[in-house]
A and B are shown apart, each in its own frame.
Chain A
Amino acid sequence: MGNTIAVQIDDLTVAYDYKPVLWDIDLEIPEGVLMAIVGPNGAGKSTLIKSILGILKPIAGTVTIYGKSYKEQRSLVAYVPQKGSVDWDFPTTALDVVMMGTYGSLGWIKRPRQKEKKAALEALEKVGMLPFKNRQISQLSGGQQQRIFLARALVQDASIYFMDEPFQGVDATTEIAIINILKELRKAGKTVIVVHHDLQTVPEYFDWVTFLNVKKIATGPVKDIFNDDNLTKTYGINYKVSIQE
């Protein structure tokens, strides 16, 4: 850990209008970390991920994945969007959504076949959703929908995973199930980057953290930089968390 840089961001500035959402971000994410991005609402956490993935076009700055542009390294990256970003009443099944994870490697026109279906079923198994594979997605609970999204990313079999608030609106059981999968991914040498809201669980879940509030406040190992000083700088109020040793 710490030798190879998985994601490198230089001078990244993004604005929706005249007001910058991200201002001059420099960030290096080492390979193999399980990293939380924390910051208040409107700090640009989702925007940062979307800019790395090329969904948003930055005003300035560059992003490289293992030294090359995202376009060249697409197959190394998987994305779990916010659950609320799609219409869950869409006429499709859980298995079908997970299969979408294989579309990238298939490319244009080619249809998913047995091999892709098998991979999707395995991913469903991993997140404990195999019994629900033929459910219409609107008939799944919020936690189950989140697990489906996670399974879709797992199918991509990537090296770097970006997740936008995967713990939002899920119950304790699902949260534990998800964090265990994330820890497994790290164990397998993958890099996992998570937009996270619950500051209490940061030391327990993550080994790396980035504080963000339009500008980058700090980044590094949780045990070194997750302290009241950085929290206060990021959230603007006197913040105190008790870190369990």
Chain B
Amino acid sequence: MDIQEYFSLVFTDYTLRTITLGTAILGAVTGMLGSFAVLRKQSLLGDAISHAALPGIAISFLITGAKDSNTLLLGALVSGLIGTFWIRGIITKTHLKSDTALGLILSLFFGFGMLLLTFIQKQPNANQAGLDKYLFGQAATLVESDVWMMAIVTGICLFVLLLFWKEFKILLFDKDYAKTLGFNSKAIDILITSFIVLAIVLGLQTVGVVLMSAMLLAPAAAARQWTNSLAKMVFLAALFGAFSGVFGTAISASQNNLSTGPVIVIVAAVFVLISFVFSPSRGLLFKQIRFIKNRRDLELHKTLAFMYHIAETHENISHPHEIKILNNFHGFTKGTLKKLVEKNYVTLQGSTWCLTNEGFKSASNLYNQLTQQDE
């Protein structure tokens, strides 16, 4: 199947439609919530939470002996939440910094989860096969009820986000100030974190424990490059996330044996890369172009100012001067002289230059312009 075939099948084929919808919704909700994680500088929290969910999956399998995805994800939710509150506890109750707390909980829970997984694999129970799909995810196992579940959680999440938009914003920007205004910052904090945990747990089946944090961070990081408004950033992150889901599924479905989760993550990373380079205001490319252009302008202005000071001393401003005297001056190149001629500021006669009236006027304005721009 190639990509074209995929897009013609996606609306009719039940399995493809389910998987595509699932990954799109997942991408949207993680992108949306990921914006909050990124702005709170808790980018690694998602990674810790998803790893912390692993023992929950194993334990709930050990208790129920069934592989029903909802039961397993409930276990993941519980252990993810426990991990999160331990992280919070470590940060507030000890002198350890948040990166230490995150790393500690991440490796501890993940190690414990892996231990339980190997233990389960040694059990004489035919049912245990396939539990390790939660490590890297397997989108193909998504069924309609999973997608419904994702849609409902996303709906609730969107509703809460819109309802408490103002509260979320002020907490993200200035927590202490929000407190003085009477907002219960702890409650808002717990609300945001709980939703992040919920979104991560929902994605474990599709993307897996190891790569889940990328779903949270990549769309948000990409979105931040394009806008300076929080609302637009959240919207863009949801959009990038959803597109990553769809394109990732399309690529993995059209190439045999490509695992969906990693492909989605790579597509999201491509969004990040493009945003880092091509964003008009924050992108590296335009920054470099602006830098070069500004430097050229400055060289031009410096040369023009130098000429102005020489011309000033003569009664006739268009009195010709040797080009040689410019060589003493930093920033002068043949290129700048050529540009000045193009702009009709200077005329050349053999080895001499003379300032035109226009050039004299714009040079005398240079100083004023510079001081105005400063204000």
Contacts and interface: CB of A to CB of B under 8 A. Distances in A.
Tell whether A pairs with B.
yes
Contacts of A97: 173
Nearest to B234: A91
Contacts of A103: 166-167, 170, 178, 181, 183
Interface string A84-121: 01110011110001001001101111111000000000
A159 interface: no
A85 B177 CA distance: 10
Contacts of B224: 91
Residue of B166, B172, B178, B232 with highest tally of chain A CB at under 10 A: B166
Interface string B183-226: 10000000000000000000000000000000000000000100
B176 A50 contact: yes
B115 interface: no
B182 interface: yes
B173 A90 contact: yes
Nearest to B41: A87
A203 B25 CA distance: 62
Interface in B148-185: 163-167, 169-170, 172-174, 176-183
B373 to A, nearest CB: 13
For the complex, would chain B's binding face be called helix, strand, loop or mixed by DSSP majority?
Answer: helix
B172 A90 contact: yes
A158 to B, nearest CB: 10
A106 B181 CA distance: 10
A185 to B, nearest CB: 18
B39 A90 contact: yes
Contacts of A106: 166
B121 interface: no
A106 B182 CA distance: 11
Interface residues of A, number: 29
A81 interface: yes
A104 B229 CA distance: 22
Contacts of A112: 166
B173 A79 contact: no
A74 interface: yes
A62 interface: no
A54 B166 CA distance: 21
Nearest to A74: B182
Interface string A36-61: 00000000000000100111000000
A79 B227 contact: no
A84 B164 CA distance: 26
Given A91-B224, A111-B166, 5 more contacts: A55-B176, A86-B174, A93-B229, A103-B166, A109-B163
The 3 closest A-B pairs by CB, nearest first: A104-B181, A136-B228, A79-B180
Interface of A: 50, 53-55, 71, 74, 77, 79, 81, 85-87, 90-93, 97, 100, 103-104, 106-112, 136, 152
Interface of B: 39, 41, 163-167, 169-170, 172-174, 176-183, 224, 227-230, 232-233
26 contacts: A50-B176, A53-B179, A54-B180, A55-B179, A55-B180, A74-B180, A74-B181, A79-B177, A85-B174, A86-B173, A87-B39, A90-B39, A90-B172, A91-B39, A91-B227, A91-B228, A91-B230, A91-B233, A92-B169, A92-B173, A92-B230, A103-B166, A103-B170, A108-B167, A111-B165, A152-B177
